[in-house]
Amino acid sequence: MANPKKGTSQARNEFIWGWAFILPTMLGLIILNIYPIFKTIYESFFKTGDFGKGNIFIGFDNYVKLFHDAEVWQALLNTFKYAIVEVPFSIAIALVLAVLLNRKMKGRAVYRTIFFLPMVAAPAAIAMVWRWLFNSEFGLLNHIFHTKINWISDPKIAVYAIAVIGVWSIIGYNMVLFLSGLQEIPRDYYEAASIDGATGVKQFFHITIPLLSPTIFFVMVTRVIGAMQVFDLIFMVMDRNSPALYKTQSLVYLFYQNSFVQNNKGYGSTIVVLLLVVIMIMTVFQNIAQKKWVHYN
């Protein structure tokens, strides 16, 4: 007959060790994620005094100001424009590259490394290189296409030029995720399809895409969130005195300007709350839509 005290002691030890293992992660989640969210919402009801001297409670005044602030809505529109270009193109190109590099070929590891290099390159170096590429006088792009386009100073196209950099810099990361998903697909499906006479294109759309849909969904959700939070590319590539800055600054860039340049952290927090709500709505919509096209079985 089993000793009930021994079973209780073992269960207690497992409970204690279980909490001990997850405690560091929980503390990190609370300190770095949950607390800042509530702190940001709290500060959105205050106005920072001159030179950071205390906070003045102003209720919903920041939100009233936000809904009447044309610069905020322009920044939101700029963010959407960036995301509309960066997300689909980065996913599509990375998916094609992953399919090609998943095959047995000479130098496959070298090509994978080359495409992943932008992920480990310093953002400052990336910005410097692309600023030269986009230079209207001596840039390589204008030299190749024999044009004289102001890529990052023309308000009509500057945000799309920034999105091109975003696509280039994230392709490698998306490709690695897709490669991981592709390697989980059993080869039996492709062999059976080949016996039935299915071409490579049909196999791609009827086998690869459906079985890779959970990975595609994960990449899509994370890339939408990442694109909506774009800041570093705009901060490092765009000139502060550029006429195109108004048409390229994102919500996060506007948050930076209000919180750290103008020292109005309360209004900056309000902008972040708006961004948080927008991301939540988009994520919920994606989770509802994924039921129609994501296959987990």
pLDDT of residue 50: 60
pLDDT of residue 278: 96
> 149-169 pLDDT, tens per residue?
888 888 999 999 999 999 999
Asked if CATH classification 1.10.3720.10 holds for the domain at 61-292, the reply, yes or no, is yes
pLDDT at 190 over 70: yes
DSSP annotation of 57 reads E
For the chain, strand residue ranges (E) read 46-48, 55-57
pLDDT of residue 165: 93
pLDDT of residue 3: 59
| Both structure tokens of 62 | 């920041």
CA 224, 225, 229, 232 torsion-angle sign: negative
φ/ψ bin of 153: left (φ > 0), alpha (ψ from -120 to 50), beta (otherwise): alpha
Task: Read off the pTM.
Answer: 0.88
Assign 3-state DSSP to the chain and report helix, strand, coil percentages, each to 5.
75, 0, 25
Domain boundaries, the chain: 4-43, 61-292
> 87-133 pLDDT, tens per residue?
999 999 999 999 988 888 787 888 888 888 888 887 788 888 898 89
> 21-67 pLDDT, tens per residue?
999 999 999 998 899 989 999 999 988 766 556 678 888 999 999 99
Q: How crowded is residue 292: how many other Cβ atoms within 10 Å of its Cβ?
A: 6
pLDDT of residue 6: 55
> 193-247 pLDDT, tens per residue?
888 888 878 888 888 999 999 999 999 999 999 999 999 899 988 888 888 888 9
DSSP annotation of 121 reads S
pLDDT of residue 191: 86
Q: 71 near 254, Cβ under 8 Å?
A: yes
